[in-house]
Each structure stands twice: as C-alpha cells, then as structure tokens.
Amino acid sequence: MAGLISTVTLAAPPLDYIDARHLLNRAGFGATDREIRSFAGLSREQAADRLLGSARSQAVTPVPASLNAFESPRGLKRLDDDERKAFIRRQFLISVELRNWWLQEMLETPSPLTERMTLFWHNHFVSGQEKVKSPVLMYRQNALLRRHALGNFGKLLHEIARDPAMVVYLDNAQNRKAQPNENFAREVMELFTLGEGRYTERDIKEAARAFTGWSIEPDDGTFRYRRLQHDRGTKTVLGTSGNLDGDDVLDILLDQPACAEFIVTKLWREFVSPEPNIREVKRIAEFFRMNRYDIRTALRLIFVSDAFYAEENRAVLIKSPVDLVVGTLRIFDVQTGELTPFAFLTAALGQNLFSPPNVKGWPGGEAWINSTTLLQRKQFLDRLFRGQDMRGAEGMTPRGGTRIAKGQGKLGGGGRQRFLRALAEIEFDADGWQASFGSEGASRIPRLVLAMAPVEAPAAGTSGLELIRDLTQDPVYQLK
C-alpha cells in the first residue's frame, strides 16, 4: 500500500497554511490558527499519520450521571397520566443533556477526527430518540460508534447489529421465526453495506430469518439472543446457503466487493466532493477490502490523494449545522456555559443530534440550505458577533418543538430560566482573539475563516468585529 501511495503523492510539496486548513476543517470542526500552523510544513503523509495516529476511541468529556441510569419505557402504558408525563419530561431533559454532552465533546476533544467520524457513522447506522425512547440507549450507541469510529468496519457492523438502540429502531426485537420482520435485513443491505440494486427481495426475506431471535432485555436495555425465537432452517443469501445466523449474513455482505465501494463512496462525499471519482473510489475500496475493512486505511488514502487537495474540490461542501455551530465556536474561541442553546440551534437548522429525520439520515449537501435555514444561520452569526449576548436569539428550537427561548416551551419553568442563563453566559473576546495574530491579523484572519476568497472582500482597513462580521456573513463562510 505504501508504494502505491508514494507514486500518487511523491511530488506533492509540503502543506502550506491553506492546505493544512483544508485538511483540518474537512477532518474536524473549525480548526484554530494554532492547529493549522502546527500542520503547515508537514508532508501529506505526515499530516495524515498525525491525524490518524492521535485519534481517540473514548470521549474526554465526563458523562452525566443520568446517562448511566436506564429506565425502561416498557411499562409506560401502565402509568397514570401524571406518571407518564413525568417520565416523558424526564427522558426529554436527559436527551437534552445527551446532546449538550456530545456538543461539548466536539468542542473540547483533542481528536476532532474521532468526533467527525462518530457523527459520520451516526448518519450511516441511523437510529433516533423518538422511536428508541431511551437517551441512555442512544448514548450507549454513540459510545459504540466512537470506539470503532476509526477501527474496523466489519467489527463495527457486527456490533451495531446487536446494539439495543438499533434493535429497537429497526424492529428486530419483533423478528421471530414464526413472523419474521424484514426491516433490519433490508436496511443492513440497502443503507449499511451494499446500496440499492445489489440484492433481491428474496435475499432480504432469507436474511430476516437469519436475524430472528436478536432482541433486547427490556429491564436493563441490553442485547439478548432469544434462542427459541431463532429460525434454524436453511437459508440462502446472495448465493450462499446453510443454517445461517445473523453473523453469517453480515460476513456474506462484507465479502461482496460492492460493500467496500459503497462505504468509500460515502467517505468520499463526506471528505472530498459531492461527486465521487469512480476510478479513485474503486482504487481506495480495493485497498480497504484487502486490509479487512480497516477504516484508517481508507481515510489515509483519501487524505493523501491528489483529489483531496485538488483546487476544484475546495469549498465545494456545505457546512452542516453542526459544522457551522461547533466550527464557529472553535475557530473564534467563543466561551460558553451550558450548551443547550446550541443544541436547539443545530436542531432548528435541520440537524437534531440523535434524531435524524428517517432511516436514511440527513441528506446533507444542498439540503442543508433553504430560505429559512440560511436566514437562521446568518442571524446566529450576526448575534454572536454583534458584541452583545445571545439573549432573544431566534430559531433555537428542534423541529416539531416549541420555541424554548420564550413562552413556557418544553423546558418549562426552571428549565426556561436555565436556558436563558446559558444564553447570557456566551462570550466572545474579539480584541483578545485578534491580538493573538499580532501584526499578521489582517492577512491571516481571512485565510483562517474562509475556505476561499470572499464573494465580497472587506473594505481596505476593515478590522475588529466589523472584519469578523463581514467574513462570517459572506456566502463563502457556509462552505468548507
């Protein structure tokens, strides 16, 4: 593999400031000036190896105690109205804590690539709080995705198939030999491994039989194999026959060359450009599969490729709401207290963490931008850099919810006051931030903030908050 990589990138010069910014912003969230300068001067290989070698598999942010206390929703129907409302409210508040916790990890992690990949897998192996009805199970899944974010895709696939949140979300808890449920079998082929058109309806029906008996223990939310509910008959999936179980089916899927190409295509769209280079995808997928689905192998090949650094692939990806919000807070070293306002802001912008819109996840790309969300994005940036606090900020509400910043809202009473306090704690020290650039600020700040030249260059001599507002309100700021 090393020989192939060197033939592609042998003549590539060391990364300059713009190259390093491009790499770190694609591989993380809002790289700071200090981080970018630490990568400038490295070769592509050295930069990729530093990124991948320092990646973590566990979060550094302490986990709220509420996320370690599973409450089963099984008995919800037996509760009276007051008890049911209390349970639902408790789970909602815990889900807010979960979102805050992950945003905090994105802001503070020494390994932004790990969180980028955890988010990537969250939108690949999709499940959502509304159906799972347990923020604790969603947290456990998040930890699972992080453990394997840069590990082995095959192992991740096997473990996600047993993940209780996934079992609930795709109805495999109802998959029994007398009444097979095809939801998981269908999505594991269409969305997780092969893509549409590479299997038949018969393959789905047979695979569903193989996953019968894969369920959960409702009292503690752990995976449970129900032996008596498993179909032990002969099954045929993609031409392989036998007394197949779920693990056998997953191995059959991993054996298909289409699986590696499907995953690399999604990685390409995440890190390089909306339109994959088919030849490059096939080349990288071949090495990905030869290395037994080692995720680092695929990412390294992407991060050292000519296509990744090509001029035509700069500023072609639209920032997701998480990219925009977390990236802005990181770049400008914005000081925050509780992150509830930002959890609701990303939701209002269309990316409600732990609640993708459907099993296909967030479509991303141009779908992030419409007349409403573009206005909300600009309002967020305007308020953040207006030199005032964020009280009264519009749009910080999850879709389908009540506006939290006024009225009683879902947080209600003390929760609303907590929300307003969190808004008031947001601070940006513009003078201190700009002073860190010294005399080079006027030239370096635009290169740090924007992925390419602005549509409308700030007037000569513009500085301070005015310069920051001009740059962040420019359309290019929405791109990476």
Residue-range domain boundaries for the chain: 2-54+256-313, 321-478
- Position 319 scores a pLDDT of 98
Residues of the chain with pLDDT under 70: 1-11, 387-416
* CB-based contact 395:348 (threshold 8 Å): yes
Q: Which of 203, 258, 249 is nearest to 230 (CA)?
A: 249
* CB-based contact 327:315 (threshold 8 Å): no
* CB-based contact 267:295 (threshold 8 Å): no
Per-position b or e across 269-279, b if 16+ CB within 10 A of its CB: ebbbbeebbee
* CB-based contact 23:43 (threshold 8 Å): no
pLDDT tens-digit profile of 36-64?
999 999 999 999 999 999 999 999 999 99
How far apart, in Å, do the first and last CA atoms of the chain sit?
29
- Position 406 scores a pLDDT of 32
* CB-based contact 105:115 (threshold 8 Å): yes
* CB-based contact 184:171 (threshold 8 Å): yes
- Position 408 scores a pLDDT of 30
Q: Backbone dihedral region of 4: left (phi > 0), alpha (psi from -120 to 50 degrees) or beta?
A: alpha
- Position 354 scores a pLDDT of 98
- Position 390 scores a pLDDT of 54
- Position 12 scores a pLDDT of 87
- Position 398 scores a pLDDT of 43
pLDDT tens-digit profile of 111-147?
999 999 999 999 999 999 999 999 999 999 999 999 9
The most distant pair of C-alpha atoms in the chain lies apart, rounded to whole Å, by 77
- Position 395 scores a pLDDT of 52
